[in-house]
A and B are shown apart, each in its own frame.
Chain A
Amino acid sequence: MTSISKALRNAARRRDLLVSYSLALILLVVSGLITSSGLQPNRILTIFGQNAPLGVAAIGQTFVLLSGGLDLSVGPVINLSNVVASEVMDGQNGRIPLAVAASLLAAALVGLINGVLVAKAKINPLLTTLAVATVVQGVYFAYTGGQPTGSIAPAFRVVSNGRIGVIPWSFIAWLLLWAITAFLLYRTVFGRRFYAAGANERAAWISGISSSWYIVSAYVASAVCAGLAGLLLSSYIGRASIGVGDPYTLISIAAVVIGGTAFTGGVGGLAGTFAGVVVMVFIATILSTLNIPAAAQFVAQGVVIASMMLLYNRLGR
């Protein structure tokens, strides 16, 4: 068990994790206190389940920030995945595998385009992903004419409705994804090289790593995660709904940044992102419990992001 205690010791040195998890815990508790029976595990697990799409999208976004970039196409890719899944599935259970494959493939394609433009054509990630996002939006708007068709098969809705014991399927999916990506990042040579390429692409290249391909993989990962998030969302809403993914772009970035991952690259990780997601989710929960209008939620989000960054600056992170 020495590796766990060592991990805990290392974690304790990461003051940013301390801050983000403390904040997450405080918000979670506060949200529970202001609702009757608010601290029931059932309620909390339900919230986690409902917000699994954000958790999943934020995992993908983490990869991109670790690579020193930014993915502004998350929202549109979620929308794309939703539209594709809905069309292909068309309400039929038998077509679920095909629909899932089609969605993820479409997402991966977008990610590949982003990655190649950023890593090979050396175009600024902010602009690249913003431009690609615009193109993707145009694509599904044009294709559906604003009226998407099809629907999600009933069997697939299990993902959002069903549970194993008390834990929602979607939350399990989120945790599973976290486990897999964490293994990849922290326990494999791929992960080591990925961090190196993200921290300093040129230095990694000079050390013999094909850093540009690792950068590409970050964007593919982000898009696939966004595609997955889109599938989870589709399961919730049961049909295609243009624009359902829009808020996820900025919130996923906010969650990752609050979690302590800097977008200079090579710094931070998935643990912080989880805390960041919890922070964003429970701010929204608290505000809606207090009946504060959605508009104010935006203000709160903006203030939290800026404040956390100032705080991390102080901590020297």
Chain B
Amino acid sequence: MTDTPSTSIECRNVTKRFGNTVAVDDVSLRLLKGRTTALIGENGAGKTTLMSVLAGELQPDEGTVIVEGEERRFRSPMDARRAGIAIAHQELSLFPDLTVAENVALVREPTRGLLVINNSRLRASVRGTLEFMGISLDLDRLVGELSPALQQLVEIAKALHSRPQVLVLDEPTSSLATQEVEVLRDCVRRLEDQEASVVFVSHRLDEVFDFADNVCVMRDGHLVAQGPLAEYTRDSLVTEMVGREITQVYPEREHPPEDRPPFLELSNVTAGSVRDLSLRLSPGSIIGIGGLEGQGQSIVAEVVAGIRQPEQGTLRVAGEEVRLRSPQDALRHGIAYVPPDRQTSGLMLPLSITKNTAVSALRRIHKLGLIRPNRERSEVSSVADQLSLRYERLSQEVGELSGGNQQKVLFGRWLLVPSLKLLVLNDPTRGVDIGARAEIYTLLRKLTEEDVSILLISTDLLELLGLADLIYVMYEGRITGSVPREQATEEEIMRLAANPDGQKS
């Protein structure tokens, strides 16, 4: 770091609203040439939304983006690309039926004449980009066949391919193992040498300190801290992210878990990429499953929830061996599932809050099969209060609620089912703001006090560390280790997650 670096790009007073929710509130930040800025914050803080504005995917309601001193309005991602901004998305923007080379070069294909793609030049240019990144991939593999880690690298390569002046990496390491993260870091250094600006959006504070020079912290849509990373410690960053003492977010356990026979037992289960997996879940406890994204955690959740049948192995619920052929089956045993993609698999978006919340308790609420709207409304209303749900009317479409409130509706659904014994949660607080999360965590604690068990699958380490009594870590479909609460640290989990000694499948 030599002389004072100049500004490459700036956001000034950017505000973005979705209906009633303000996702980004009057944010101004500055990116410097040749430097990496970390953009951190909890799920739902507005990081991705802000970056979407920067990358031209969303139009801000207020404020501007200033590139090299000039105010710009990006009407489309192409506009932003032409201005030298590229983004590697958290939700990959790849096409499974196109090859690696085709994905990386999309929309920038070299042509013979006007329209025909020049394949040899295309491949050469993609090879060049991959070399710059320091990786090598089979250009002709269909992206859909790649592992999540390789897919993430392709997404990054795609952003790099346009040789951007500003590169945004949104959670680029969520599927990457340690060696791959190092390769990425070297690549980022090379970009800095070329005076490019890099934005590193991440949860992983260790990596943040490794990658970045400056940091911006977002919380609830606001930019709450900005400056050189050297001025912060891990703890001070966490406090800024969370806005309160960490202990206030994750409620303490009142009664320690007793040693009782497990409510749920998986023995030698094989399903899809999951191999020979065994775990157990004590009643009234929170069991976490962590690890890198896409290592089979969702498959475990789906097996427990009755969505997926194991090819081998057994499930025992309350000591009894069961076959769960459908979520209905699972429900009969008191097992309920909150899926990770709330909009596609959890909620019926065009239906009202009432209808979404009551959907699993219809038989109980409406005796004789005849609808009793008053009883339904009062039950839903009391659950909504319990969850501190923010809404206009119970009859409003669930699609109009914010992410956090939508997630609460999903929880509320199961609160109306008194026979609930095990709640399986898959990535339950993705895109949920810190306030709602604290409320959800309190609810989860309360449930455990009532002897409900929780199976929590999450890539959010802080969440796992804050809530779980025991954390299983998975890699490539197997459990690499289980860490009880007392011994759980970020380092230990990451160690188990990134394939330690000899756990090759």
Contacts and interface: CB of A to CB of B under 8 A. Distances in A.
B502 interface: no
Interface string B342-356: 001111111100010
B369 interface: yes
Interface string A41-63: 00000000000000000000000
A174 B328 CA distance: 37
A196 B350 contact: no
Interface stretch (A134-142, A144-152, A205-213): A205-213
A200 interface: yes
Interface in B287-334: 305, 307, 326-328, 331
A277 B359 CA distance: 31
A192 B350 contact: no
B345 A190 contact: no
A244 interface: no
A307 to B, nearest CB: 23
Nearest to B330: A208
Contact of B339 (A3, A187, A206, A209): A206
Q: Which of B337, B362, B366, B413 has the most CB of A within 10 A?
A: B362
Given A206-B345, A267-B350, A195 B355 contact: yes
Q: Which of A186, A205, A207, A210 has the most CB of B within 10 A?
A: A207
A188 B371 CA distance: 5
Contacts of A238: none
Interface in A137-194: 186-193
B360 interface: yes
Q: Which of A187, A190, A203, A266 has the most CB of B within 10 A?
A: A203
Nearest to A13: B395
B370 interface: yes
A210 B346 contact: no
B122 to A, nearest CB: 34
A193 B371 contact: no
B363 interface: yes
Contacts of B362: 189, 192-193
B357 to A, nearest CB: 10
B348 A266 contact: yes
Nearest to B358: A192
B371 A189 contact: yes
Contact of A200 (B307, B328, B347): B347
A199 B328 contact: no
Nearest to A267: B350
Given A203-B347, A206-B327, A196 B355 contact: yes
Contacts of A200: 344-345, 347-349
B305 A206 contact: yes
Interface residue SS majority, chain A = helix
A189 B359 contact: no
B29 to A, nearest CB: 33
A207 B371 contact: no
A206 B346 contact: yes
Nearest to B372: A187
A193 B369 CA distance: 11
A208 B350 contact: no
By size class, the interface of chain A is: 20 to 34
Nearest to A205: B327
A204 interface: yes
A195 B362 CA distance: 13
B360 A208 contact: yes
A127 B91 CA distance: 32
Nearest to A200: B348
A195 B307 CA distance: 21
Contacts of A206: 305, 307, 327, 337, 339, 345-346
A10 B350 contact: no
Contacts of B360: 207-208
Contacts of B371: 186-189, 191-192
A232 to B, nearest CB: 30
Contacts of B395: 10
Contacts of B346: 203, 206
A15 interface: no
A120 to B, nearest CB: 13
A206 B331 CA distance: 9
B393 to A, nearest CB: 10
A288 B50 CA distance: 58
A193 B362 CA distance: 8
Contact of B326 (A195, A205, A264, A266): A205
Interface in A205-235: 205-210
Nearest to A193: B362
A267 B397 CA distance: 11
Nearest to A192: B362
Contact of B363 (A189, A196, A207): A189
Contacts of B328: 208-210
A196 B351 contact: yes
A202 B344 contact: yes
Contacts of A267: 350
Given A187-B371, A188-B371, A189-B369, A196 B331 contact: no
B331 A203 contact: no
Nearest to B327: A206
B369 A199 contact: no
Contacts of A203: 339, 344-348
A187 B359 contact: no
Interface of A: 3, 10, 186-193, 195-196, 199-200, 202-210, 264, 266-267
Interface of B: 305, 307, 326-328, 331, 337, 339, 344-351, 355, 358-360, 362-363, 366, 369-371, 373, 395, 413
**Which A-B residue pairs are the 5 nearest by beta carbons?**
A199-B348, A208-B331, A200-B348, A267-B350, A189-B369
30 contacts: A3-B373, A10-B395, A189-B369, A191-B371, A192-B355, A192-B358, A192-B359, A193-B362, A196-B348, A196-B351, A196-B359, A199-B348, A199-B351, A200-B345, A200-B349, A203-B347, A203-B348, A205-B326, A205-B327, A206-B327, A206-B337, A206-B345, A207-B413, A208-B327, A209-B359, A264-B350, A266-B348, A266-B350, A266-B351, A267-B350
